[in-house]
Amino acid sequence: MLRTRDFVLLFSAIAFLLMAIGTTVLTQSWSTAVDYGSVGEVAETGIEYEAFVSTTESLTRDERIASMRAKIAEQTILSESLPNFDLVTEEEVIDAEVSTSSTEIAAAVVGQCPTYQPYTGFWDARDLVWSESEGARVLLREVGATSSVMTAIVQLPMALQPAVNPSCLRSDVIGLANDGSLIRNDEVALYSIFGASTVVGYALDGFPIYGGSAAATDACGGRTVAGQYRYELSSERDSVLHCFTGAPITLP
């Protein structure tokens, strides 16, 4: 049997041995520890550590755009169908305006004035030219063969829309042609050889007169096109126009 003294000595030896083993293990653990204080620095263990800095490759602007387009092309884009709207064109708006003005003109008294009489004045159509100045269309004549002085013969207003009330016809002369000659109201056949896109002259109230057209006109013989009122010749009328939609001038 073990005596008490022998047991104490055995226990002390075992404890000392365990302490020695533990100390050895701790010492080895601390000796393998690495100092990460600075990148690339050599630790106490003698092992070298090397750090790498990751850098993003720089792309040009064209390359970035191409990459974005490629990503967009890979996506499936769903588009909603737009509802169909009934668009009102400018021509339809103009036709609506013409209808309104036509009703007003048709309701008015048109035709010859009570004092109507054929024009019998002397009219010299030589060397006449048209000019536009300060909101008016002026018919000029050159004074003298070598002179550049011009004198005004007739001045017509330049309005866009017709007046509310039309004016009756004072005589058979209702306008002036491009060459300055007189346009008589019964000369429809003479000017009908021109189409609807040709200006043959100007009425005495200032509105342009166009060639033959199949379009519907108001009671006076005109209509509004692209915001501008104009007269148009028609095979359905035996006269150039039936009345003036503006205030006509009096020829000298």
Please name the residue that has the structure tokens 């790498």.
52
* Winning range, highest mean pLDDT, from 82-91, 136-145, 203-212: 203-212
Interatomic CA distance for residues 7 and 201, integer angstroms: 144
pLDDT band at 19; cut points 50, 70, 90? confident
46-103 pLDDT, tens digit per residue, is 555 555 444 555 667 667 666 666 655 554 443 333 333 333 333 443 343 443 344 4
Q: What is the per-residue pLDDT for 34? A: 43
Distance between CA atoms of residues 223 and 229, nearest Å: 6
- Say how far apart CA 175 and CA 207 lie, in whole Å: 9
**pLDDT score recorded for residue 155:** 92
Q: What is the dihedral of CA 92, 95, 97, 102, to 10 degrees?
A: -160
Measured between alpha carbons, how far is residue 22 from residues 27, 30, 32, 45, 147 in Å?
9, 13, 16, 21, 131
pTM for the model stands at: 0.57
- What are the pLDDT digits (tens) for 152-204? 889 999 888 888 889 999 999 999 999 999 999 999 999 988 988 999 999 99
Predicted confidence at residue 209, as pLDDT, reads: 96
- CA-to-CA dists, residue 177 to 16, 94, 150, 187, 210, angstroms: 136, 27, 19, 12, 11
pLDDT band at 150 (very low <50, low <70, confident <90, very high): confident
Give the pLDDT of residue 20: 73
Tell me the two tokens of residue 162: 């017709």
CB-based burial of residue 192 (10 Å sphere; 0-12 exposed, 13-18 middle, 19+ buried)? middle
What is the rounded distance in angstroms from the CA atom of residue 211 to the CA atom of residue 188?
9
Q: What's the pLDDT at 21?
A: 77
Ranges of each domain in the chain: 90-121+160-233
Q: Are 155 and 146 in contact (CB under 8 A)?
A: no
Q: How confident is the model at residue 248 (pLDDT cuts 50, 70, 90)?
A: very high
Average pLDDT, the chain: 74
Residue 79: what pLDDT?
36
Cα separation, 154 vs 130, whole angstroms = 10
